[in-house]
């Protein structure tokens, strides 16, 4: 199958115009007319991921985060992005990114389902699709009220995580939860406005955490990767149902840092 045909199937579900204005999605490196019977799925197009894609014999690499985000003025071996682009071209692998278009149309809903939120609504509306709001994150009710500490254990279990960073009183009762996978600094305001007791997200800094707690919002920082690696299994299922003739290889789940 041509990469262009695979892209048509992806974009029928996750069109590029659903992405946020700052983003860079779509085919970023390689040929649309590349013939392939195998796709490699990963969150990031790292050196290791590209090596794995090459070893797997995949002709297309589909990632969540874009390999090329900022403008590239030159492509040389002196720059890590340039090296990755050169390696992909050298091995004739087309690299495709589905970032905030996937976030808007799927990631928030998927995270809400994993956390079993009831009466879930879009946290930060960015568009309408078929007359229904779509956007970043979800907010809804937990099945039962619990302490923030119990909520941390719950989130760790549901997202299969080893560690979390928490801002807030661990004995405080929480029942309304907002989730915004990825970098969630911009999710604090919508979570407060939605009346959430706790926000599950990633990349929360010292000041953002303290300020959120001062506004009545506890924050569970489950990590950028920790809240977005759910993309991998979901897209594997997507390819399995929409493109059963295409082999799918998934990058193993490896968290990018360790807490010692």
Write out the binding residues for a divalent metal cation.
64-65, 103, 224, 228
Nearest in space to 40 (alpha carbons), one of 182, 227, 232 = 232
Distance CA 243, CA 82 (A): 31
Can you tell me which residue has the tokens 């946290």? 123
* Helix, strand, or coil (residue 48): helix
Distance CA 140, CA 74 (A): 46
Binding-site positions read 64-65, 103, 224, 228
Q: Which residues of 205-230 are buried (b: 16+ CB within 10 A; e: fewer)?
A: eeebbeebbeeebbbbbbbbbbbbbb
Nearest in space to 167 (alpha carbons), one of 123, 203, 116 = 203
Structure tokens at 241: 């149902």
Nearest in space to 200 (alpha carbons), one of 168, 232, 235, 233 = 168
């Amino acid at each position: 199958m041509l990469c262009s045909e695979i892209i048509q199937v992806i974009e029928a579900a996750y069109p590029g115009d659903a992405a946020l204005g700052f983003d860079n999605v779509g085919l970023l490196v390689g040929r649309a007319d590349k013939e392939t019977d195998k796709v490699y799925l990963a969150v990031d197009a790292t050196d290791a991921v590209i090596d794995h894609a090459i070893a797997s014999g995949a002709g297309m690499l589909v990632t969540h985060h874009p390999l090329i985000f900022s403008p590239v003025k030159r492509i040389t071996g002196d720059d890590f992005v340039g090296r990755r682009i050169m390696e992909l071209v050298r091995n004739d692998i087309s690299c495709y990114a589905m970032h905030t278009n996937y976030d808007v149309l799927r990631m928030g809903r998927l995270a809400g389902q994993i956390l079993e939120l009831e009466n879930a609504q879009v946290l930060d509306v960015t568009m309408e699709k078929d007359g229904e709001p779509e956007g970043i994150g979800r907010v809804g009710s937990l099945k039962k009220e619990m302490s923030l500490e119990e909520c941390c254990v719950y989130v760790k279990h549901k997202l299969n995580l080893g560690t979390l960073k928490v801002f807030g009183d661990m004995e405080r009762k929480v029942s309304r939860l907002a989730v915004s996978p990825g970098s969630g600094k911009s999710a604090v305001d919508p979570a407060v406005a939605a009346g959430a007791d706790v926000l599950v997200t990633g990349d929360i800094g010292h000041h953002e955490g303290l300020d959120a707690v001062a506004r009545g919002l506890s924050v569970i920082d489950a990590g950028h990767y920790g809240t977005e690696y759910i993309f991998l299994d979901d897209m594997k299922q997507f390819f399995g149902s929409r493109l059963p003739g295409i082999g799918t290889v998934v990058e193993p789940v490896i968290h990018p840092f360790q807490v010692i």
